[in-house]
Amino acid sequence: MVCVRCGGKAFYTRRYSGEVLCGPCFQASIVEKTRKTISRYGMLRHGEKVGVAVSGGKDSLSLLHVLHALNGTRRYQLVVLTVDEGVEGYREESMEHSAALTRELGLEHVIVSYKELYGFDLDHALAWKDEREVSSCSMCGVFRRRAIDEAAVRAGVSVIATAHNLDDYVQTFMMNLMHGDVERLGWIDPRVVDTDFPLHRVKPFMEIYEEEVALYAHLSGLPFQSASCPYMHEGLRSEVRDYLNELEAKHPGMKNVLLSSALQVSSRISASKGPSPVPCTLCGQPSSGGLCNVCRMKQLVEQHTKYTPD
């Protein structure tokens, strides 16, 4: 088999489309697909200062690598945003991966930590796991979103690009359906810009399969994290991921169909905007009413651990 674009030696076959590509043409296809996604949804504007959330994993490193490749004409200014959650034996390696690529590309790097922002690291916050119903990923996600916002404010960016891929997108859609959280279905509409929040978030990889992002990282010589997050297999998302991978293996293209469905549903729900957020009674950040999720989670940590603010 040969590459359908250049006639070179075949390297990868997209089962959902039948397209056969060599390594360089595959890499170019990922960059081009990302460019089209950015253009289709108006994610980035010329001259904008863009914060790229980089954890040090394959997805975020690949996103930074691709956006840098697309920015050859300096259409926008890239700043790297990294959050140190504080997971012993895991986070140190990915932090170094983030710093190494940032230095290589000559970009500004803004780093914040849970310890600095909240007074505790993630390991401490999750120490009471046997007593709680909320998953580790859910707790971390609440703290992480606020931490990225804080890094973005310090960097002076107007938009945050995250490396959520197509798999992440459809997993979130399925999980919201399973939880009966109809309002959240509207939040995943990439066309919506919530003016109640000063920082707009975009997902340039939302139309790219996770396995293709990993393959891009491999071909580009980007480092892979040698250890997995010790908390990643808790909760429903891991089961949804396995189920969707099984469906895709049996029915190539199923994830693309789910993405299309998710976008259609979210666009209909987002058209009817709900009540505007109100300031959190503790921190002043936007909330649906009363306490924001970050302050609520902090109170839970304080109640169930030996928490002493620094």
Range(s) of the domain holding residue 83: 43-304
Q: Tell me, yes or no, whether 224 lies in a domain.
A: yes
**CA-CA distance, 113 to 151, in Å (whole number)?**
9
* Class of residue 24 by CB neighbours under 10 A (exposed 0-12, middle 13-18, buried 19+): middle
Q: Tell me, yes or no, whether 295 lies in a domain.
A: yes
In sequence order, which residues have a C-beta less than 8 Å from that of residue 302 and are 6 or more positions away?
none
- Least confident range from 154-158, 199-203, 243-247, 248-252: namely 199-203
Q: Tell me, yes or no, whether 27 lies in a domain.
A: no
Provide the CATH number for the domain around residue 222: 3.40.50.620
pLDDT value at 5 more than 60: yes
Q: Per-residue pLDDT tens for 48-80?
A: 999 999 999 999 999 999 999 999 877 899 999
Supply 191's token pair: 């066309």
Q: Tell me, yes or no, whether 140 lies in a domain.
A: yes
DSSP-based three-state secondary structure for 257:
helix
The answer to whether 201 touches 168, Cβ cutoff 8 Å, is no
**CA-CA distance, 273 to 294, in Å (whole number)?**
23
The answer to whether 165 touches 30, Cβ cutoff 8 Å, is no
Q: Per-residue pLDDT tens for 126-148?
A: 887 666 677 788 889 999 999 99
**CA-CA distance, 309 to 307, in Å (whole number)?**
6
Q: Tell me, yes or no, whether 22 lies in a domain.
A: no
Q: Which amino acid is at 52?
A: V
Q: Looking at the 3D structure of the chain, how many domains does it have?
A: 1
pLDDT value at 269 more than 90: no
Q: Tell me, yes or no, whether 23 lies in a domain.
A: no
pLDDT value at 264 more than 80: yes
The answer to whether 291 touches 139, Cβ cutoff 8 Å, is no
For 241-245, the CB contacts below 8 A with 24+ separation are 241/167, 241/171, 244/167, 244/170, 244/171, 244/174
Q: Tell me, yes or no, whether 147 lies in a domain.
A: yes
Q: Tell me, yes or no, whether 33 lies in a domain.
A: no
**CA-CA distance, 8 to 25, in Å (whole number)?**
9
